[in-house]
Amino acid sequence: MLEIVFTDGRIGAKAVKIFGLAEGAKFNSAALHSDELALVKKAISQACFNGKKGTFIEVFGAQGKIIVAGLGEKPDALGLQELGGSLVKKLFKDCVACYYVENIKGCKLSPEEIAHNVAFGLMIGSYRFDKYFTRKKQEDYPSLEQVIFKVKNSAKVSEDFRDFAALGNAVRYGRDLCNEPSNYLTPEVFAADIKRLEYLGLEVEVLGKKELEEEEFGLLLAVAQGSVLEPKVAVIRWRGKPEQEEYDCGLVGKGVTFDAGGISIKPSNGMWDMKRDMTGAAVVVASLKALALQKASVNVVGIVGLVENMPDGGAIRPGDVVTSMSGQTVEILNTDAEGRLVLADCMWYLQKNYNVRKLADIATLTGATMRALGSEYAGLFTNNDKLAAHLIKAGEETGEKLWRLPLSKDYDQQMDSEIADIRNISTNPNAGGSTAACFLQRFLKVKHLPWAHLDIAGVDDETKGKPLCPKGATAFGIRLLNKFIRG
């Protein structure tokens, strides 16, 4: 993994030199020799380089490569992270680079914050999932090993980077889980991986099939019935405020390790994407990992339902009626609407056993939300306006954006069954994101508990590759939830 270092000391001559330039600003740097400075200035004027965001200029001086990166007009934290991410490509063939951190004109961020955000961008932008290649050549791998940030007061800057480094590690861990194929990341392997996080001071409890039966996870077990793999549920607690009994927040994640649809089987084209139907769970687990690494002073409890949705001979049938942990009966009309079943029992279990001030669930839940919002925004459904505002703001700040979609009585009524308490798909094929959310809402023990449901079906997969995420899993939500929980 790429090493990030902060120093006020001397920089080796071999390091690529990187400078940021705000749009419209004049380039100058005391870190360059006069001949190099003249060279860079000349290149800037010849190329009419004006510091526009996302543009770069590269110069080869007597000592090696110099990069000037355009920062745009008033760069914010997210813009600087993206800049860090874009540097990954620029430095692919280099070994060591040094970013000379200087005040940016018109920017409110301190040099320390500038360094932190660029470094964080490098950390998550350099993420790769390449463990299954066996024939790749050396030159196909990045040679970049270390990026040094030249700052004042480097001891403090390093120390303060801890929270960012923790978050960066958590994002990389979350993406690893999401990219892992379903034959490797089974519910059992996933649960064992979560259990290992106890070394960080997290409390982890894993429930196997027997415990799930005793605890009456009726809906989750109904989904699991169609697979030969044993389902698991993991409960993960971070108690950073041990003197407080209550939990500040409860998190629930959908961990369907593969969603074939069950008897209501999905079309084969694109079915492979359903290996990522456990992103919600990965995000919950990684979020708790981040809090533990940060030693955050909050109490958070997470629960993830780990199960595979397959069409085995023992699978549930469309038309079956199953009793949930809450006691409410559910008519299962489409076995492909399995995520809400898994979440409902997990939500109930969490509320039954823990005193939580607010509750958020996160899931790759509906194609409808994906079609409504594409990959720009995740869907937000909530019974609480304050919670909505708080989450939307955290989304804006982290670039993991949310758009609120409605819950309503009418959508809720469409979830009434003719022969049981609830049906698992709506009577109306439209507004599938909202009706799914209304299904979940029926599993709040206390109606007014501030609760939010995040539907990440459209944003869990990066198809083109972006500065902060290569093609593949985004693990959307880790940065957002960290900001939300920590304020």
Query: Around Cβ 367, how many Cβ atoms within 10 Å?
Result: 13
Question: Of the residues 266, 404, 466, 486, which is catalytic?
Answer: 266
345 interacts with Mn ion by CB under 5 A: no
Q: How far is the CB of 142 from Mn ion (least distance, A)?
A: 36
**Residue 340 among the catalytic residues:** yes
Q: How far is the CB of 458 from Zn ion (least distance, A)?
A: 13
Which residue lies nearer to Mn ion by CB, 68 or 282?
Answer: 282
User: At 5, which amino acid appears?
Assistant: V
Which residue lies nearer to Mn ion by CB, 176 or 336?
Answer: 336
Per-residue contact flags (x/-) with Mn ion for residues 381 to 410, judged by CB under 5 A: ------------------------------
- Nearest 5 degrees, angle CA 392-CA 393-CA 396? 90
**Residue 266 among the catalytic residues:** yes
Residues 6+ apart with CB under 8 A from 214: none
Q: Which of 250, 253, 262, 339 binds Zn ion (CB under 5 A)?
A: 339
Q: How far is the C-alpha of 318 from the C-alpha of 321, rounded, in Å?
A: 9
Question: Of the residues 232, 254, 276, 340, which is catalytic?
Answer: 340
339 phi and psi angles, rounded to 5 deg: -60, -45
Q: CA dist 477 to 8, 107, 197, Å?
A: 34, 27, 19
Which residue lies nearer to ligand BES by CB, 77 or 372?
Answer: 372
Which residue lies nearer to ligand BES by CB, 432 or 450?
Answer: 432
336 interacts with Mn ion by CB under 5 A: yes
Candidate ranges 101-109, 239-247, 250-258, 438-446; the one touching Zn ion (CB under 5 A): 250-258
Which residue lies nearer to Zn ion by CB, 176 or 455?
Answer: 455
Q: How far is the CB of 230 from Mn ion (least distance, A)?
A: 20
Per-residue contact flags (x/-) with Mn ion for residues 227 to 266, judged by CB under 5 A: --------------------------------x-------
Q: How far is the CB of 401 from ligand BES (least distance, A)?
A: 18
261 interacts with Zn ion by CB under 5 A: no
Residues at the contact surface with Zn ion, assessed by CB under 5 A: 256, 259, 277, 339
> What residues are labeled active site?
266, 340
Residues at the contact surface with Mn ion, assessed by CB under 5 A: 259, 336, 338
